[in-house]
Amino acid sequence: MTRTLLCFGDSNTHGSIALTQLGVFRRFDRDTRWPGILAKHLGPAWHVIEEGHAGRTTVHDDPIEGPHRNGLTMLPAILESHRPIDLVILKLGTNDLKPRFSVTPIDIALSIEKLIALIQASKCGPDDSPPQILLVAPAPITETGVLKGIFEGGAAKSRELSLLYQLSADKMGCAFLDAGAVTQTDPTDGVHLTAEAHNAIAKALYAKIESEF
């Protein structure tokens, strides 16, 4: 029986290519994005659903880019529309680093816990059970290129997320992967991933799923 995997994330799940000009967006093709690569590794035993949205936050309405980027608001409908879901890969937090949200690293981790709790309280897994969860800490960012001002002050915060996410995963009973342990962001804009980084994350996720799920 085919199992269903939902990849819920931001631009680095969507596959956005590093920006060289604000407002000009490009996207890797499916075979280059990590969900697409992961689907190939997993094979027909898994149905992989891509739910990446550029600019998506954990729990915040974006005053500039729009309230529809609030992950907490969007997640219930996405869970229900794709049910039954066996596993959710949750990979968010980078956009919360923008100074417009004025949150600390611990605030971001607590926001992730709200999303985890929502998934765990849902009946969107097999036989009305909750889906299992694999929490991914995003790779730390750098403040460079055209996104430097938008993420001002975020680099130092981003380096704290791995440990905090690990603690949250342990607390909430989730599996955990640190993306920063296997890759880094593209130095072009300091936030998005290279094609090689997508491949590395996919391989790490595949190994994790094969060993734990």
Q: Which of 69, 74, 77 is nearest to 101 (CA)?
A: 69
Structure tokens at 208: 């994790």
Give me the phi and psi of 112, to 5 degrees please: -60, -40
Structure tokens at 32: 């280059």
Q: Please give the tally of structural domains in the chain.
A: 1
Of the chain, the end-to-end C-alpha distance in Å amounts to 14
Residue 84, pLDDT score: 98
Measured CA to CA, the distance from residue 39 to residue 110 in angstroms comes to 30
Mean local confidence (pLDDT), 143-171: 98
CB 134 within 8 A of CB 177: yes
Strand order in the sheet with 175-178: 46-52, 3-9, 87-91, 132-137, 175-178
User: What DSSP designation does 18 have?
Assistant: P
Q: What is the pLDDT of residues 162-203, one digit of tens each?
A: 999 999 999 999 999 999 999 999 999 999 999 999 999 999
Q: How many residues does the chain have?
A: 213
Alpha helices in 23-159 (DSSP H): 34-42, 71-82, 105-121, 154-158
Q: Which domain holds residue 84?
A: 3-16+23-212
Mean local confidence (pLDDT), 4-24: 97
Mean local confidence (pLDDT), 4-12: 98
CATH of the domain at 132: 3.40.50.1110
CB 112 within 8 A of CB 93: yes
Residue 1, pLDDT score: 87
Q: What is the pLDDT of residues 60-109, one digit of tens each?
A: 999 999 999 999 999 999 999 999 999 999 999 999 999 999 999 999 99
